[in-house]
Amino acid sequence: DAKTTQPPSMDCAEGRAANLPCNHSTISGNEYVYWYRQIHSQGPQYIIHGLKNNETNEMASLIITEDRKSSTLILPHATLRDTAVYYCIVSSDRGTSYGKLTFGQGTILTVHP
Amino acid sequence: DTGVSQDPRHKITKRGQNVTFRCDPISEHNRLYWYRQTLGQGPEFLTYFQNEAQLEKSRLLSDRFSAERPKGSFSTLEIQRTEQGDSAMYLCASSPPTGRDGYTFGSGTRLTVV
């Protein structure tokens, strides 16, 4: 599986956009980029995923570079409840590992009033 | 359907005892995953079921760990002869057949071995 690199922590002011970067320079084939977040003491929550095109849903936008080696998760108007650990994951597409997610350390996003 | 349910939420056990956790996935999801998470770390993959078949096990899953999904619905994770190093959050997740539409995680079972 391709590995991902994320900054360990980021800060954002409430109401502003939070832009969380992720590098996945060894991504290949049909591997998807997924974003999850985890609020303390809860299970991870799915946010968004994409393959090649930019994606948007009610929670966030995902921008994937043309060479697919990096991506950015955008929370357009961050709130205090968006404070969480954000994980960027590249999904496996090999054999029985199809769809398995391998989590890294993630980025701790702190939203300030 | 209220999502993925895990039971119990918390478990305290003495070293050497056996424990069993249960996971009830979303009913139409045929894929079920177990992960373990220790403090300050991301979740680590343990094992994966497609229907009742256990298709992959991590090397983290020692001989003391066993998982089942007997009828392709709920799953159990048993840890025999628990050790203090087994203390962690055990997370269950399920996904639909394609596996590419995102997982739904449960709230986890927090295990403390004393």
Token code pair at residue B38: 């220790």
Q: Is the pLDDT of residue B16 over 70?
A: yes
What does DSSP assign to residue A5?
Answer: B
Contact B113, B15 (CB under 8 A): yes
**A24 or A93, greater pLDDT:** A24
B5 close to B24: Cβ distance less than 8 angstroms: yes
Q: Is A32 on the interface with B (CB under 8 A)?
A: yes
> What pLDDT is stored for residue B102 in this prediction?
79
Size of interface A-B (CB pairs under 8 A): 54
CA–CA separation, B92 and B43 (whole Å): 10
- Residue B100, pLDDT score: 64
Which residues on chain B are in Cβ contact (under 8 Å) with A101? 33, 45, 103
State residue A28's pLDDT score: 82
* pLDDT at residue B1, as a whole number: 53
Cα separation, B93 vs B31, whole angstroms:
8
Kindly state whether B105 is in contact with chain A, defined as any CB-CB distance less than 8 angstroms: yes
Of residues A97 and B70, more confidence is placed in B70
